[in-house]
């Protein structure tokens, strides 16, 4: 059974803090993704990675960076958190096989005050 | 660039009736996949159904079916015999196999099932 876990369900940080969101998957998936979800906007892709140490910008990468040192772990970093980064963050993973679904973690609701 | 459009922000349906959630897409790729996900109030994303661009038959998974009309670039989700537990947000998404498997999501449709 595929499992994608995220380090926190809820997180409260102050403006200017450096924030780390961790994601781990246990299915040996090549591809991993970070999305943010905001009401009325759906899920928007921040960054994705298709291999260890490889990363690609998504649609809204500004203010974020990522790290993938091991295949199972994909980290999202907010270098200096701002209030407009208050959102739900979802991590996902998938294999490269055609038709494979993305498996999502439970999400982290981040509030920046 | 790929795009998904869901034009129904909210929908109501009576329990036991069928409901169709609309999804149109735009892509210049020949090979792609279409997905529907359900997100209940608890927040987890639940995969429902998948349709490949070369699949000739509409996909079905239990009470879910995907009405795929390729020429119209339409991939509507049909839920038959609605249940109270179907109340949730529903997202349509497209995956291009040229772009590392990333999904592009629509804005979502909030479905409410009335008893």
pLDDT value, residue A2: 63
A75 contacts A66 by C-beta, under 8 angstroms: yes
Nearest CA in chain A to B1: A59
Q: Which of B43, B52, B91 sits opposite A106 (nearest CB)?
A: B43
Considering chain B, what percentage of its residues have pLDDT values greater than 90?
A: 81
Exposure class string for B40-62: b at 16+ Cβ within 10 A, else e = eeebebebbbbbbbeeeeebeee
**pLDDT at B96 (0 to 100):** 76
Interface mutation vs chain A, best among B45, B46, B106, most A CBs within 10 Å: B45
The yes-or-no verdict on residue A10 having pLDDT over 90 is yes
Q: Do B101 and A31 touch (CB under 8 A)?
A: yes
pLDDT of residue B4: 95
Model confidence pLDDT, tens digit, residues A89-111: 999 998 877 677 889 999 999 99
Q: What is the pLDDT of residue A12?
A: 97
- Min Cα distance B93 → chain A (Å) is 10
The reply to whether residue B52 touches residue A100, judged by beta carbons under 8 angstroms, is no
Q: Give the gap in angstroms from C-alpha B34 to the nearest C-alpha of chain A.
A: 9
Dist. CA A59–CA A62, nearest whole Å = 9
Rounded to an integer, the average pLDDT of B91-113 is: 87
- Residue B102 pLDDT class (50, 70, 90 cuts): confident
Nearest chain B Cα distance for residue A84, angstroms: 19
At A44-82, the pLDDT tens digits run 999 999 889 899 999 999 999 999 999 999 999 999 999
Whether B33 sits inside 8 A of A90 (CB atoms) is no
Mean pLDDT of B67-77: 96
CA angle (A26, A29, A34) in 5-degree steps: 90
Instruction: Give tens-digit pLDDT for B1-45.
Output: 789 999 999 999 999 999 999 999 999 888 899 999 999 998 889
Tell me: pLDDT of B98 over 70.
no
Share of residues in chain A with pLDDT > 90 (%): 79
B43 touches chain A (CB under 8 A): yes
Residues of chain A with C-beta less than 8 angstroms from the C-beta of B103: 33, 43, 45, 92, 102
User: What is the strand order of the sheet A4-6 is part of?
Assistant: A4-6, A19-25, A73-78, A64-70
């Amino acid at each position: 059974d595929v499992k994608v876990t995220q380090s926190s369900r809820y997180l409260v940080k102050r403006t200017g803090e450096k924030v780390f969101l961790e994601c781990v998957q246990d299915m040996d998936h090549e591809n991993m993704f970070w999305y943010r979800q905001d009401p009325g906007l759906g899920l928007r892709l921040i960054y994705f990675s298709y291999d260890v140490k490889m990363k690609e910008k998504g649609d809204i990468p500004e203010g974020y960076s990522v790290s993938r040192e091991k295949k199972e772990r994909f980290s999202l970093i907010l270098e200096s958190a701002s209030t407009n980064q208050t959102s739900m963050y979802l991590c996902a993973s998938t294999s490269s096989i055609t038709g494979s679904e993305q498996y999502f973690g439970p999400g982290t609701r981040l509030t920046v005050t | 660039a790929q795009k998904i459009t869901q034009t129904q922000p909210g929908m109501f349906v009576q329990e036991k009736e069928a409901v169709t959630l609309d999804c149109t897409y735009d892509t210049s790729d020949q090979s792609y996949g279409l997905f529907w996900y359900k997100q209940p109030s608890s927040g987890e994303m639940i995969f429902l159904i998948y349709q490949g661009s070369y699949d000739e038959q509409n996909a079905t998974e239990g009470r879910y079916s995907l009405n795929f009309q390729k020429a119209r670039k339409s991939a509507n989700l049909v839920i038959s015999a609605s249940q109270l537990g179907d109340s949730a947000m529903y997202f349509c998404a497209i995956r291009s196999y040229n772009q590392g498997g990333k999904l592009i999501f629509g804005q979502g449709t909030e479905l409410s099932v009335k008893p």
